[in-house]
Structure 1
Amino acid sequence: MTSARFSAPAAAVLVFSVFPAGAAGQTGLVVEDGQAQIVPAFADSSSWIRHELWVETEFDSDGDGRPDRVHVDVTRPAQTDDEGLQVPVIYETSPYYSGVAGVDLQHFWNIRQEVGGEPRARDPFPPTIAHVPSQPRISRSHVATWVPRGFAVVHSQSPGTGQSQGCPTVGGANESLAPKAVIDWLNGRARGFTSVDGDEEVRADWATGRVGMTGTSYNGTLPLAAATTGVEGLEAIVPVAPNTSYYHYYRSNGLVRSPGGYPGEDVDVLFDFIFSGFPDVRDYCLTTVRDEMTANLDRATGDYSDFWASRDYLNHIDGVRAATLMSHGFNDWNVMPEHSYRISMALRERGVPLQIFYHQGGHGGPPPLELVNRWFTRYVAGGENGVEGDPAAWIVREGADREQPTPYASYPHPEAEGVALRPGGDGHWTGVLSLEGPADDRGGDPASGTIFDNFSFAGGQLAAAEWSNHRLLYATPELSEDVHLSGVATVRVRVSADAPAANLSVWLVSLPWTESDDLNDNVITRGWADPANAGAEEIASPRSGTPLKPGEFVELEFPLQPDDQVIPAGARIGLMIFSSDREFTLHPDPGTTLSVDLDGTRIELPVVGGSAALRRALGVPAS
């Protein structure tokens, strides 16, 4: 499909006002081509009204016996006072607005640990983020974009950060209830005060009560967190690269796994990273929140537990009613694309209005403003611009401008079908990956492969090596035409190990491996799992407690990260299976030996056009 600009299917120009009917003569939003336009009367920044307040929540997370209050700032058009205008709100909340501790790996968990073994004690960050006693302007994000269009912009600081009371909980209930309280205040259901401990109230009489939330990374997680409460007034969210499950952020299919670029980070490390709140509650928060995290995060087994389930927003998805425009990068190896995919699929099943924007880059990257504008104009401002009829998925194609995504009817591509490929031959060199039958018909002996684990070798080194006994690599013949993959590849591996537990890593790559500053030029997608979880009803459920036995094979099946990529003609699609992934997994002592039964191993690729398309590209006659 060709790329397209966003256009309103209805009338080209629609002008309407957001104040109550009957308040004639007031300034209002102007909508053109389905998007709220800059209005000169709103655009004079010198006239904007700015103020701060503290909103009372329904929780007490710092143990002082009083409901915590969260710090809020507001920027709104002058007409909200001069003309009594009521306006919709764009809202962002964050734990980062008052600074962070910085990345100091000596305070992370030591990843030189045996898989399944006891972790080494961590040296926590000292709680030395300088507390900012006053911060009337929390952030300037979104102000220049939305206030000139007739919206108010609101920011708030997460509990236990900046001038917000409470303790950070990193996915705990108060992170959902804090933005809910702010939205309740915007609708007259919660109390706001002019100071953190005073009793002078401030009301949001200038707000329509209709709110849209957005943000990136942690700031993109919190709109979803708020939406799970079902709070009335939160009409739309635009989460960008959101972390939708702290288990999936720090674990993968039962395996302890770091987010890309942060080896040894875990939920208690993130607590230390953001804890900028009031000094007088720091000792309480450390002993009652962070120490509890450390006791429950379980870096020995990597098991899913009640602790992790409470921090998994998929378990609270039934509360979401806000129209969702999800955004993510397919090469985001920090907050991986499964986070947006799993939530999007659940919202689609529940009939929540949904659009998806994916790009080919890394962490972050919001949708084009036109797309966000149409979304907020329709659901927050209430303009009937026909966005419901727009394509459900927008994907930036390889090498394209991120502002020019290609529209699709859905994601995954509606014509994508799973096609199974099986490995054969000697994977220490490069074996074969084909559509054909048993392993001995796909490259001859051996019908198994052996991996000698050594974390010293990075995945890129292993994929580029002509020969290595630290990985198994199997590849298709050169493609005679492009192959479009769209969706989730699933790998099934039959494996044994001579240790009680081991890492298992799988990369899908494009060969030949090329020298590039961007690893993503070669990596299609990846996945990681714990073979000791084989046989569980769900791969993320607690393991049976039975260690791996030497020579005894187990079978496991798990998804790789979602992707949408066109593999060009002339390339080969490669399946690489190895043990420790230097950039993501624990680093056990080298020497564990894994054996892979090729007859019990396969990968299913989501190919647009299905088996027929892949057969054409591989020059294989139709079956």
Structure 2
Amino acid sequence: MTNVSKYCFSLLFFIQAYAVAAQETTTPIFKDGEAQIVEAFNTPEKWIRQDLFVETEFDSDGDGKLDRMHVDVTRPYQTKTEGLKLPVIYESSPYYAGVAPDVDGVFWDVKHELGEMGPERVNPEVTRLGERPIISNSQIKTWVPRGYIVVHSASPGTGLSQGSPTVGGDNESLAPKAVIDWLNGRAKGYTEPYGDEEVKAFWSTGKVGMTGTSYNGTIPLAAATTGVDGLEVIIPVAPNTSYYHYYRSNGLVRSPGGYLGEDIDVLYDYIHSGDESKRAANNKRVRDTEMKNGMDRKTGDYNDFWAGRDYLNDMAPMKAAMLMSHGFNDWNVMPEHSYRIYKKAKDMGLETAIYYHQFGHGGPPPVSMMNKWFTHYLHGVDNGIENEPNKAFIVREGDNMKNPTAYKDYPNPDAKNVTLHLTAGAPKAGGLTLTKPSSQKTETLIDNYSFDGAALAKADITEHRLLYVTPKLTKDIHISGVPKITVTLASSKPAANLSVWLVSLPWNEGRRVKTTDNIITRGWADPQNHKSISESKPLKPGKFYKVTFDLQPDDQIIKAGQQIGLLIFSSDKEYTLHPEPGTELTVDLDETKLVLPIVGGLETF
């Protein structure tokens, strides 16, 4: 063989080998608009797992150094062997490294009069859990086999992340921003918390999607409000979008469901798992100064402290697409949290949709739905998600969460407000009617926190609540939107709780299915804040005040044969403070009304 022949043979062999290698390069696969599991990615034993520390732009522990966030990465080995670049699905949390123990006295004592403070609560210490390099395994099994890199980070002052928790402060928005900046080459990552050996995200395309549930769902929204480049889409699940709306309600001190006596300083202690040597200083600066001065358990008023922890106020820079998810029976992080952000995002012209289900706290959209959103915004696949005519996906009563019913929007565009008036009936039940009756007497209830709302709704006769019900429904009624209540009342004391439930009667335990119960929706308010949630003023005993507020958003079908009941009472055993029983609330029936958003409006009702 001549030298030329040998050269040609070698060149041909090289070209063929290169072609075979090119054919064997692993890439994501898409079908029906979704990223598919790729067997070459679905190799956990070969996944590359590493951790690092991303430098932020803040110093929230006051040590004179910029805080670094602890980050972990899980990626297919092809990002190393084949130079493959992939988009990132990112979840951040304050919970990864453990939380404070549930000890006696950790919550605020609620047995005292409104306007007073209970005894000082116990401040438990967190024992940090977890070892490097793995922060969390969440999201990995779902998304890495489908051609994504999964990233986690511990939020400030938790785990190995430096800084201090602030529970909604600016650093909790800027921390995930820094991680996204690092994924785009704009921030520095280091192998150690105080070292100077850098780590580059050479395997990242720079496109990031965030998701998570509860506090982990709040952080994607927090990051999005910074307007950081590269954060293309967020899927928050049951996010806390305002700490005021979580711990207060229309001026009233009100606990989240299941956590009576919790407040923002309780949550601070619960998550403060960071560097033990920094905790005392963090506690003094954040919990014992900023929170103690700002949280105001005496009045429950909205102020600058709470406004700074309300993400609705920070949305102007936001540009990420958003799929919001929430449960209508979530009485921990209540459904208003997602609705208020969804509505604002729509008004801003952002690409957004909302998924609601009939269960409680948590519950992400179906994986298929999430897949399409991530596939479109992170891989750039044209799967039509942005042209979907329906923007609301609601799991109907009794349906599987994987099979929501699609609607044009939420609230249902066909819903119209129907006003219902009260007719007398205490201590039994009065009526709810479309026609406003002629002049009526007032009716009075006596506060007693020892009776919970369910007991009051089921009681035939009781002086501790007022109950007004419709006639039996002759056909199904579809409520969709935000009911509004106006209660005109007088109190026998300068301060009183006001609680309102909307219920479906009769109260029949056997009627329940997994996704619904007799509670349609609820709401709470402080009559002292009848003019503004930012300013309270003691009530003049015997003087009538008009209190108007929204109940929690809902989308529920009340079946024919049921009755819709309006339950008005004072202290709610599960949610409010527990003042000494005996306060009297007198309601002016003529000046009290309920407005229900009903699909089909008055004609249907």
In the other structure, the counterpart of 2:576 is 585
In the other structure, the counterpart of 2:370 is 372
Q: Structure 1 residues 453 and 262, CA, compared in 2 at 3 Å: closer, same or farther?
A: same
Worse-matched range after superposition: 244-253 or 514-523: 514-523
In the other structure, the counterpart of 2:504 is 510
Worse-matched range after superposition: 385-394 or 178-187: 385-394
2:131 equivalent to 1:134: yes
Match of 2:280, SS state, is helix
Query: Structure 1, residues 321-348: CA drift from partner, whole Å, max 9, x if none?
Result: 1100000000000000000000000000
2:112 equivalent to 1:113: yes
Which of 216, 220, 227 matches 2:213?
216
Match of 2:159, SS state, is coil
Which of 583, 589, 593 matches 1:602?
593
In the other structure, the counterpart of 2:6 is none
2:60 equivalent to 1:61: yes
Query: Structure 1, residues 490-515: CA drift from partner, whole Å, max 9, x if none?
Result: 00110110100100000000001113
Worse-matched range after superposition: 288-297 or 605-614: 288-297
Worse-matched range after superposition: 289-298 or 593-602: 289-298
**For residue 598 of structure 1, what is the amino acid of its counterpart?**
L
Match of 1:74, SS state, is strand
Contact 2:436–2:590, Cα closer than 8 Å, also in 1: no
**For residue 423 of structure 2, what is the amino acid of its counterpart?**
G
In the other structure, the counterpart of 2:551 is 560
CA distance in 2 between partners of 1:132 and 1:509 (Å): 43
List alignment gaps of at least 5 residues for structure 2: 1-21
**For residue 69 of structure 1, what is the amino acid of its counterpart?**
R
RMSD: 1.3
2:452 equivalent to 1:458: yes
2:549 equivalent to 1:550: no
Query: Structure 1, residues 105-138: CA drift from partner, whole Å, max 9, x if none?
Result: 52111101211x22123223232x2234733111
In the other structure, the counterpart of 1:470 is 464
CA distance in 1 between partners of 2:503 and 2:66 (Å): 52
- Residue 25 of structure 1: how far off its partner (Å): 6.3
Query: Structure 1, residues 256-292: CA drift from partner, whole Å, max 9, x if none?
Result: 0000000110000000101100111011111001112
Which of 287, 296, 299 matches 2:297?
299
In the other structure, the counterpart of 1:541 is 534
2:321 equivalent to 1:323: yes
2:492 equivalent to 1:498: yes
- Residue 448 of structure 1: how far off its partner (Å): 1.5
Contact 1:107–1:122, Cα closer than 8 Å, also in 2: no
2:188 equivalent to 1:191: yes
Contact 1:489–1:560, Cα closer than 8 Å, also in 2: yes
List alignment gaps of at least 5 residues for structure 1: 1-22, 441-445, 615-623
CA distance in 1 between partners of 2:457 and 2:102 (Å): 29
Worse-matched range after superposition: 412-421 or 518-527: 518-527
Using structure 1 for the length normalisation, give the TM-score: 0.91
Contact 1:449–1:598, Cα closer than 8 Å, also in 2: yes
**For residue 483 of structure 1, what is the amino acid of its counterpart?**
I
Which of 506, 519, 526 matches 2:522?
526
CA distance in 2 between partners of 1:520 and 1:428 (Å): 28
- Residue 40 of structure 1: how far off its partner (Å): 1.3
The count of corresponding residues between Structure 1 and Structure 2 is 580
Match of 1:463, SS state, is helix
Query: Structure 1, residues 430-471: CA drift from partner, whole Å, max 9, x if none?
Result: 11101012255xxxxx53210100001000000000011110
CA distance in 1 between partners of 2:542 and 2:469 (Å): 27
2:233 equivalent to 1:236: yes
Contact 1:133–1:163, Cα closer than 8 Å, also in 2: no
- Residue 211 of structure 1: how far off its partner (Å): 0.2
Query: Structure 1, residues 309-365: CA drift from partner, whole Å, max 9, x if none?
Result: 000000001121110000000000000000000000000000111010000000000
CA distance in 1 between partners of 2:460 and 2:56 (Å): 60
Using structure 2 for the length normalisation, give the TM-score: 0.94
**For residue 345 of structure 2, what is the amino acid of its counterpart?**
L
Contact 1:422–1:439, Cα closer than 8 Å, also in 2: no
Match of 2:589, SS state, is strand
Which of 342, 359, 367 matches 2:340?
342
Which of 282, 286, 289 matches 2:283?
286
CA distance in 2 between partners of 1:46 and 1:456 (Å): 56
**For residue 377 of structure 2, what is the amino acid of its counterpart?**
Y
Which of 332, 335, 350 matches 1:352?
350
CA distance in 2 between partners of 1:606 and 1:380 (Å): 37
**For residue 267 of structure 1, what is the amino acid of its counterpart?**
I
In the other structure, the counterpart of 1:151 is 148
**For residue 502 of structure 2, what is the amino acid of its counterpart?**
L
CA distance in 1 between partners of 2:406 and 2:101 (Å): 39
CA distance in 1 between partners of 2:369 and 2:88 (Å): 17
CA distance in 2 between partners of 1:208 and 1:269 (Å): 39
CA distance in 2 between partners of 1:63 and 1:548 (Å): 44
Which of 207, 224, 229 matches 1:227?
224
Contact 1:108–1:263, Cα closer than 8 Å, also in 2: yes
Contact 2:359–2:515, Cα closer than 8 Å, also in 1: no
- Residue 607 of structure 1: how far off its partner (Å): 0.1
CA distance in 2 between partners of 1:510 and 1:134 (Å): 50
CA distance in 1 between partners of 2:105 and 2:438 (Å): 46
**For residue 43 of structure 1, what is the amino acid of its counterpart?**
N
Which of 250, 258, 261 matches 2:258?
261
CA distance in 2 between partners of 1:528 and 1:504 (Å): 6
Which of 195, 200, 209 matches 2:197?
200
Which of the pair has more CA radius of gyration? 2
2:274 equivalent to 1:277: yes
**For residue 559 of structure 1, what is the amino acid of its counterpart?**
D
CA distance in 1 between partners of 2:254 and 2:101 (Å): 21
- Residue 162 of structure 1: how far off its partner (Å): 0.4
In the other structure, the counterpart of 1:86 is 85
CA distance in 2 between partners of 1:150 and 1:210 (Å): 13
In the other structure, the counterpart of 1:412 is 411
CA distance in 2 between partners of 1:342 and 1:126 (Å): 34
CA distance in 2 between partners of 1:274 and 1:86 (Å): 34
In the other structure, the counterpart of 1:436 is 435
